Structure 1
Amino acid sequence: MGEGLRDSTRSKLRKAFSMSSSRSSSPFQQPSKSPSPSPIGWVDPPLTKLELTGYKTATKQRLLDLGLAEDLRLHLPLRLQITHNWKLCYSLEQNGSSLSTLYSSSLPDRSETGKKIGYLLVVYDQNHDKFGCYLNEHLRPMDRRAYYGNGECFLWKVEKGRIPSLTEDLTNSSSSSLPVQFRLKVFPYTSLNDFIIYSNHSFISIGSGNGKFGLWIDENLVKGASSTVDTFGNEPLSREEQFQVMGLEIWKII
């Protein structure tokens, strides 16, 4: 990124944080309590294999595969782990780079009214890295400076690396010859502040504090930023603090 682009993005980030720095006036929702452990000797039945629906035949950029989805599934609230159909409700490739379209596509339909739906946001950047967040509410433009979301929300990223196996002979092989391994890292809510979700017509932010955002995406769905924040105690999700959005999807989990 050129200096002009970086300065422009920094300016937008400072403006965004100043707009979203006040606390929500509504009571903060604490996460629901974990269910009681299973009786001794009881083994939970295996989860039904996931089905990912919503990709069009012509769609080339498919950010979520079954392997990553199954790994993320284990970190969802228990009520959503048992569901097996995840629906793609927004795709940058299929729906275009419009924040208003993203908001409208994420709305629950009439048949989903009253249900506790989950939403998975997946970002793909210029470094070919994937990261995102899980949200307990749909993204929407707020008319006032108010945060929403509860402690079920989390940030996540996929780390890539070349990891030798226990039987690997490292004396005769270079690191470049080792197979690439993928590891999911999840950053749950810390309870240190309630700056979980804030979104308006200019940006989306997940987690914030001290002028930084856990995940921030601009109104054009082109630029983003990620830093360590108290909300999730996370590592930066992207390799660089500022990144370019090359792909973005939102999945609805019912």
Structure 2
Amino acid sequence: MGVAYSVGEVDHLYTFFVQWSPDIYSKDNKKDYLFTEEQQNRYLVVEKNKVAMINQILSSPVREIVTLKNSKRRLSLSSSDDSEADEPEYQEEDAVLVLSDNSQLLDDVHLQQLATQMPPRTQGYPWQLVYSTAIHGSSLKTLYRNMVDLDSPVLLVVKDMNKKVFGAFSSDSFRVSKYCYGTGETFLFSFSPDFQAYRWSGENSYFVSGSLESLQIGGGGGGFALWLDADLYHGASFSCPTFHNAPLSTEEDFIVQDLEVWTVQY
């Protein structure tokens, strides 16, 4: 006797297990390691003895999904130097976001506010500018081309014609893809008048999708949390189920004044 889970919960589970161990749970791997699939269009049936573990995973949205490799690295770092045991415990308010290049959009206050929201795996690493409209012009194709060899999180920052600054942290670099990609680490943010961060609601997994015509972040409710056209000139921002966010820009439809994309240098 199995227990059925909804398609939204299945998306959540799929995201978790692919990120946890892609060599086992990738689409191309036909072995059955966790559950037997009886895919009947809208739900998944799992073995009864796996229900407790599944429910634990689904009980709250995942803010950060750590791979087996990174989890072992963290364990090693935490126990490698006993002499640091007396060091003061890391505090979120002490987080610092360090940029290797000058930003036209982010000041020191912005960097401090964003640093408190970043996943632990990015802490302590510098950020490098990989795309800027001021340097590279306004082209989504150029943005994709500059990121083609990247395999690291990215920070997208937009300034609209009303001088409002906002954007998104993506767990994955931007690329053209037929399907949505990313993990629950992905979040939105906006500045002015106050800093706001919008994290994954767990309602769906429509994190990021990209085509040659547009870049979309969030969705599922008839509008994207952040949408940019092929010229990186016109944009739109709506509330959406993925993040339960308020519109990021001053107006739902906006014109881009400047745009930057940063990536972590591991």
Question: What is the TM-score of this pair, normalised by structure 2?
Answer: 0.65
Q: Any residues of structure 2 matched to 1:194-209 within 5 Å, and which? A: 194-209=205-220
SS in 1 for 2:224: strand
Which residue, 143, 148, 168 being the options, matches 1:102? 143
Specify the alignment match of 1:43 in structure 2.
88
Specify the alignment match of 1:154 in structure 2.
187
Give the Å deviation of 1:50: 4.4
* Corresponding position: 1:79 with 2:121: yes
Specify the alignment match of 1:175 in structure 2.
none
Specify the alignment match of 2:240 in structure 1.
229
Is the Cα contact below 8 Å between 1:93 and 1:247 reproduced in 2?
yes
CA distance in structure 1 between the partners assigned to 2:256 and 2:127 by the alignment: 23
| Aligned residue identity for 2:146 | S
CA distance in structure 2 between the partners assigned to 1:226 and 1:253 by the alignment: 25
Q: Any residues of structure 2 matched to 1:164-179 within 5 Å, and which? A: none
SS in 1 for 2:216: strand
* Corresponding position: 1:137 with 2:172: yes
| Aligned residue identity for 2:105 | L
Give the Å deviation of 1:213: 0.6
CA distance in structure 1 between the partners assigned to 2:260 and 2:120 by the alignment: 23
When residues 32 and 100 of structure 1 are mapped into structure 2, their CA distance, relative to the original with a 3 A threshold, is: same
Is the Cα contact below 8 Å between 1:52 and 1:66 reproduced in 2?
no
SS in 2 for 1:123: strand
Give the Å deviation of 1:44: 1.9
Higher RCO (C-alpha under 8 Å, 6+ residues apart):
1
Higher helix share: 2
Percent of residue pairs identical: 33
Which structure 2 residue ranges, 5 or more long, are not aligned?
1-9, 17-61, 79-85
SS in 2 for 1:213: coil
Per-residue CA deviation, residues 22-60 of structure 1 (Å, 9 max, x unaligned), is x98x93236427999x9xx973247585432234xxxxx
Is the Cα contact below 8 Å between 1:136 and 1:149 reproduced in 2?
yes
CA distance in structure 2 between the partners assigned to 1:140 and 1:86 by the alignment: 19
| Aligned residue identity for 1:71 | Q
Specify the alignment match of 1:184 in structure 2.
195
Give the Å deviation of 1:78: 0.9
Give the Å deviation of 1:207: 0.2
Which structure 1 residue ranges, 5 or more long, are not aligned?
1-22, 56-60, 161-182
CA distance in structure 2 between the partners assigned to 1:185 and 1:131 by the alignment: 9
Is the Cα contact below 8 Å between 2:171 and 2:182 reproduced in 1?
yes
SS in 2 for 1:208: coil
CA distance in structure 2 between the partners assigned to 1:48 and 1:76 by the alignment: 9
When residues 49 and 238 of structure 1 are mapped into structure 2, their CA distance, relative to the original with a 3 A threshold, is: closer
Which residue, 101, 109, 112 being the options, matches 1:54? 101
CA distance in structure 2 between the partners assigned to 1:52 and 1:42 by the alignment: 25
Which residue, 217, 223, 233 being the options, matches 2:228? 217
Is the Cα contact below 8 Å between 1:187 and 1:233 reproduced in 2?
yes
| Aligned residue identity for 1:27 | Y
Per-residue CA deviation, residues 154-212 of structure 1 (Å, 9 max, x unaligned), is 0000022xxxxxxxxxxxxxxxxxxxxxx310000011011110111000000001220
CA distance in structure 2 between the partners assigned to 1:194 and 1:158 by the alignment: 25
Give the Å deviation of 1:65: 2.1
CA distance in structure 1 between the partners assigned to 2:174 and 2:263 by the alignment: 11
Is the Cα contact below 8 Å between 1:106 and 1:252 reproduced in 2?
no
Specify the alignment match of 2:14 in structure 1.
27
CA distance in structure 2 between the partners assigned to 1:247 and 1:93 by the alignment: 7
Question: What is the TM-score of this pair, normalised by structure 1?
Answer: 0.68
Equivalenced residue count is: 193
SS in 2 for 1:27: helix
